[in-house]
Amino acid sequence: MKGMSEQPATSPQESNGEAGFDSIRAEISREMVRLYKELFGRGPTKARTEFAGPDIVICSLENTFTPAERSLAEMGEHQRLRDTRLYFQAATADRFREIVERLTGRKVRAFISGLDAQVDICSEVFYLEDGHRGE
């Protein structure tokens, strides 16, 4: 793991084999859980990170709601919950980007945060700059 932080992978193929690639995905997931806990007061109970090709990272997080957010969902206030959560995540987007940039060694060119408020599943999608051309 120490070697991974010294030379982050720029694509799944450059991560010192499947074990190194798994380590990067696991570390991104752990960092997302930590950040959610710090920002929202509790972390998700399930987190998974995958590469969708060489330039897209998708983090799926489940069971993220605080007790107050759960109450809003139970009242049917899904849009209000979604708007509030996404507004807050947009305000802290740099912190989400920093995690992926640090662990992959690549700049994030776009960050999209999504939430299904009815089932408490969030997704964080990161589009990475082309590591092969240095863009």
Of 132 and 12, the structure prediction assigns the larger pLDDT to 132
15-51 pLDDT, tens digit each: 455 556 689 999 999 999 999 999 988 999 999 999 9
Three-class HEC string of the chain:
CHHHHHCCCCCHHHCCHHHHHHHHHHHHHHHHHHHHHHHHCCCCCEEEEEECCCCEEEEEEECCCCHHHHHHHHCCCHHHHHHHHHHHHHHCHHHHHHHHHHHHCCCEEEEEEEEECCCCEEEEEEEECCCCCCC
Q: How confident is the model at residue 9 (pLDDT cuts 50, 70, 90)?
A: very low
Taking the whole predicted model, whether its pTM rises above 0.85 is answered as: no
Token pair of 28 as six digits: 């991104």
pLDDT on residue 21 = 66
Is residue 58 predicted with pLDDT exceeding 50?
yes
List the domain boundaries for the chain: 2-128
Return phi, psi of residue 10, to 5°.
-100, -10
- CATH placement of domain 2-128: 3.30.1380
pLDDT on residue 20 = 64
- Check: CB of residue 26 under 8 Å from CB of residue 15: no
What average pLDDT does this structure show over 80-86?
92
pLDDT on residue 2 = 34
Q: Cβ atoms within 10 A of the Cβ of 41, count?
A: 11
